[in-house]
């Protein structure tokens, strides 16, 4: 598009969404004018913008404490706090996840170990709610699932929380349990 300005600097008004990662680039050139005469167009310059994927895990541990047999607990009331992640990159990202088994008696996906994506208070609209996993879903033990689609990178809307819901299976013996949940970020454009 053609932009007319009398300034030496021109701040962009729109987000530059066409990234080199998707084989896009921008052409830039200038034409000087004094209002009566125009110069020739300057030699065009190609500008490649590489996506920077940079995710920060703000809260990286969830500890439910003691839960009795058949008992249930979740992070929706922030006690304990859910996982929270922030997009510090320059592009929208998708967040995928899976987990190691939490229970000794259940080694696959089940309703005993679930997750959901949710807004962080004050950052509503930070991701594509309709295409993300915003209702309770079985935690993927094998394979990965995309939990969050198009997490924004704008400072005012760049964070998401991942809530957990656990239910102790009736046949599970007492003892400490642990599960590791790796999060993977990919270009979400």
150-173: pLDDT as tens digits: 999 999 999 999 999 999 999 999
Cα angle, residue 166 at apex, residues 164 and 168 outer, rounded to 5°: 170
121-157: pLDDT as tens digits: 999 999 999 999 999 999 999 899 999 999 999 999 9
Phi, psi at 138, each rounded to 5°: -65, 135
Residue range 91-103: mean pLDDT, rounded: 97
Residues recorded for the chain: 189
27-54: pLDDT as tens digits: 888 888 888 898 998 898 998 888 889 9
Cα angle, residue 159 at apex, residues 156 and 162 outer, rounded to 5°: 155
């Amino acid at each position: 598009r053609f932009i007319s300005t009398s300034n030496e600097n021109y701040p962009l008004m729109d987000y530059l969404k066409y990234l080199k990662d998707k084989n896009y680039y921008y052409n830039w050139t200038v034409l000087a004018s004094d209002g009566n005469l125009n110069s020739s167009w300057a030699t065009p310059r190609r500008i490649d913008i590489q996506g920077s994927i940079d995710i920060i895990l703000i809260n990286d541990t969830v500890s439910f404490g003691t839960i009795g047999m058949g008992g249930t607990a979740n992070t929706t009331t922030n006690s304990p706090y859910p996982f929270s992640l922030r997009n510090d990159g320059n592009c929208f990202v998708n967040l995928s996840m899976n987990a190691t088994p939490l229970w000794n008696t259940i080694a696959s996906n089940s309703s005993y170990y679930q997750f959901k994506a949710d807004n962080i208070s004050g950052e509503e609209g930070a991701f594509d709610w309709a295409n993300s996993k915003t209702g309770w879903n079985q935690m993927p033990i094998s394979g990965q699932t995309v939990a969050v689609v198009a997490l924004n990178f704008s400072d005012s809307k760049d964070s998401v929380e991942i809530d957990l819901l656990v239910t102790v299976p009736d046949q599970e013996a007492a003892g400490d349990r642990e599960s590791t949940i790796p999060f993977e970020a990919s270009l979400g454009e």
